[in-house]
Structure 1
Amino acid sequence: MTFSHTISAPPEKVWRCLTDVARYPALLTKVDATELLHGQAFGTGTSWRETRRPYGWPVTVELRVTDCRPPFRYVVECFAGGHGVTEYRLVPGAAGGTTDLQLTYTLTGGSPIHRISRIIARRRFVTCVRENNVQDLLDIERACGANA
């Protein structure tokens, strides 16, 4: 699934918001807590534990940056009922000073029970992924504006 949003800030500013893992609980309404595990500066190898409320109850996962090309792209992977991969792309907007933020999420594999659950509850799963990612994009836009 791919989501995109134009943010009224240059890529460097959006990058700073996106990569400030310690501030996620203050920036992203769906994130309750983060804990850095490895990596001081954000980059390939940075990992953290993140607690979100995707279904209304807390879910904690460990995430790891597996590819990082500042300030235009990074990839985060985790295991949450399967192998989750999220790619963030920051494209300078046609209008100067804007960024087209594109987020692509895929989930593959997992135990048989996880795969069956995703099939049975597909509509709810898709709705949850959409709601969480769209909210993250709106929160990043708000954070970039607030930090002007």
Structure 2
Amino acid sequence: MSDVEVHRRVQAPVDEVWRIATDLESAPQVVRGIDAVEVLTPGPFGVGTRWRETRTMFGRSATEEMTVSAVDPGRSYTVEATSSGVHYLSTFSFAPAGEGATEATMTFGGRPTTRVAKVLGALTAPLATRSVEKALRADLDDIAAAAERGAATG
């Protein structure tokens, strides 16, 4: 699958969007697509933070273990996961967009690591790309709504 990237202007400052996007315990209450999160590492969000995230996709519940592999505090972070012969890489970026706003970007890509995954990926790529884009947009909309509520009340 080629990388999918979505952007959204959020009417909240970067620090509020960052706080919402990195609050793993609250993710199921913020992001409609997330059913549950189990944080596996104690301490603050950073490189090495791991969690199990459960989502319902295509009518089936799936749980994946995620690991933060890079962080530029307040600006971006990268999450990696490997499942069913595919290595997934997600990047979340936040940049000031003037007047207390933020330009939020989510990028997601999957690279097959097995022959079976390569064949299945080639067959399902168009559908998968559309589904991923739709899910990323929904996640970003949910994060934006929570950050905008927080900015309005804070």
Match of 1:117 among 107, 120, 137: 120
**Is the Cα contact below 8 Å between 2:112 and 2:121 reproduced in 1?**
no
**Is the Cα contact below 8 Å between 2:5 and 2:133 reproduced in 1?**
no
Measure, in 2, the Cα distance between the counterparts of 1:18 and 1:75.
12
Matched, 1:87 2:91: yes
Measure, in 2, the Cα distance between the counterparts of 1:54 and 1:111.
22
The higher-RCO structure (CA 8 Å, 6+ apart) is 2
SS in 2 for 1:58: strand
Deviations along 1:62-96, whole A, 9 cap, x unmatched?
A: 00001111100111000133110111110100x22
Measure, in 2, the Cα distance between the counterparts of 1:107 and 1:63.
13
Aligned residue runs from structure 1 range 30-69, under 5 A: 30-69=33-72
Shift of 1:110: 2.7
Percent identity between matched residues is 28
Shift of 1:103: 1.1
Matched positions, count: 147
Which TM-score applies when normalising by structure 2?
0.91
- Runs of 5+ consecutive residues of structure 1 not aligned to the other structure: none
Consecutive aligned runs of 4 or more in structure 1 exceeding 6 Å deviation: none
- Runs of 5+ consecutive residues of structure 2 not aligned to the other structure: none
Measure, in 1, the Cα distance between the counterparts of 2:94 and 2:112.
28
In structure 2, give the amino acid aligned to 1:144: A
Shift of 1:100: 0.3
Matched, 1:107 2:107: no
Measure, in 1, the Cα distance between the counterparts of 2:74 and 2:107.
17
Measure, in 1, the Cα distance between the counterparts of 2:130 and 2:75.
27
Which TM-score applies when normalising by structure 1?
0.94
Shift of 1:54: 2.6
Measure, in 2, the Cα distance between the counterparts of 1:126 and 1:2.
10
Shift of 1:117: 1.3
